[in-house]
Chains A and B, each alone.
Chain A
Amino acid sequence: MGGAIRAEIRKIFTTRLWWGLLIGLVLVSGGLSALFAALVGTTTAGSDPADNPFLHMTKGTAQLIYSAGFVYNLTPLLPLALGVILITQEFRHQTISATFLATPLRWRVLASKSVAIVVIGVVYGLVHNIASAAAGSLVLGIKGEATYLANPDIWRTFAISELCFVLWALLGFGFGMLVRNQLAAVFIALGIAFIAHIALSILFGALGWHTPPKFLPDNLSVGMLVTSDPTGGAGGGASPYFEWWVNALVFLGYAVALSVVGSWLLSRRDVS
């Protein structure tokens, strides 16, 4: 098993994919953090303290800034795409035969790949945290606002963002196993995660439903990261998210369900 895991990790780091997506990640996460930080203390996002989480700098605002890429639903697309591509490229380039010949027990291949995806997910999360913290705190510092970087709740946000990266990448992995066609899988996954999220949010809002939106993957991950009310209580009302660990469990359920179905199908498939 150790050899199979090493092989899967080596596969990730021997093509240009991982650092190509990583550059995108730095730009997206760092850029959005800087943008969110720039909004602090301004009325750009409204002058009502109940509606504008940036009006006054709070602990929740800091969580929002350092997870800006997630709040904007762009950062999770990168680990998602990575997870999809890491499995579908085996089909696209017909390397899956060599993989299964080296490790004929297919569940073992898929377990090894999952471990490798956890590893790269942690690496991505680390880079995201550094980029977000650096860009966000730089802008906050220039504006003379508190950075909250010493606050334990902020550190918890950084720790949980590692988990978010792993979960999004595993979700992509499971989805890729089901779809297999690389181009289709990438576009459908990104379409669901980005466009369907927006469409469903609008629909649920119009219907006045409050619980179904909580189950959308993007809201699950934001609910893990932003645990303090950014409006400092001015917004009132209930949190739009579950408890952070409920979010994590539901999300893990999605990833596991897709991976189990995908693995089961793949374990029975003819590889030719």
Chain B
Amino acid sequence: MPRSAQDWLDLIRALPLEGRRVRVMNVCGGHERSIAQAGLRGALPSSIELIPGPGCPVCVCPEEDVYEAIQLALRENVLLTAFGDMLRVPVNAPKGEPRSLEQAKARGADIRPIASPMEAAALARANPQRTVVFFAAGFETTMAPVAAMVLEAPPPNLLLLLSGRLTWPAVAMLLNSDRPGFDALVAPGHVATVMGANEWRFIVEDHGLPAAVAGFSPQSLLAALYSVLRQLLERHPFLDNCYPELVTPAGNATARRLLDQAFTVDEANWRGVGVIPASGFTLRPHLAAHDARLRYPSPADAQRKRAGQMPPGCDCAQVVLGRIYPDECRLYGRACRPDAPIGPCMVSDEGACRIWWASGVRTPRAA
């Protein structure tokens, strides 16, 4: 008889956690959304802190990549397409220049939001005389279908501006830092569906921390929480899989093969975080004809102020690393709101600030 969300909650409440402070990090915007939507923080014992970590691909997409996308979109004959939540990400553009793809669109750039990589290929096919640039940002889950699309011989006028990232290296970076900031990890269900649960064994084997892969229902998330809490109390960490319906130890073999055929894995910049080794996807040489970066050399401008940085006053980098909660940012709910976002975490539905805002947290935390 499978346990219900309420059963798992009762089990968690019965654990001897008094006087302890347990920080459990999640690294998936979908998890953070489910936690916020189910009101889990309020339902759990106060000794348990749920910390949103680096789980938002839009938030960590380098500022210079978004700037580059804007510059490409403004070119004559270019049709730029991107996932919807990239459109409003702000960059540090000089006065008078568009600061987001949305602003570039308002100035006449042809920018089309899409929901699936296949739509990018369809757009290129439907517009053969134009150069269609697909600004592809995302984690492994998104990059697998991007790989499938680019390996299926898309039309020659389709170029990729790739900003794909792997999730686990960011967690490894945190754990290797002097301030990991968490005692246990809830591993991302979607990413593990593609890459396999085993990718997260290093949490246990190299760092001795409890870990559990979770799905997106309150039931699965609470099961994973119960698992890591028990692992912690019994001092017996292991990698648990609380999403066995979809997640296998080795993941989706086809998706992994496609990723490997299309991309190499290299060091990559994460917005506000810095360069992380072996954390970004790059198109393999046999797909170079579809590489927007090779066709159009980067518009890198040494003069541009704050290139690559977060906007002034914005604490998104701290939020992404789980070092502060969204409402501890000085701008949260004051200068930075979804209708006029300053940092990327307030833009995407995967961003912790946006999720907290959407779930009703409308004022900054009292200092």
Chain A bound to chain B: no
Question: Which B residues contact A (CB, under 8 angstroms)?
Answer: none
Question: Which A residues contact B (CB, under 8 angstroms)?
Answer: none
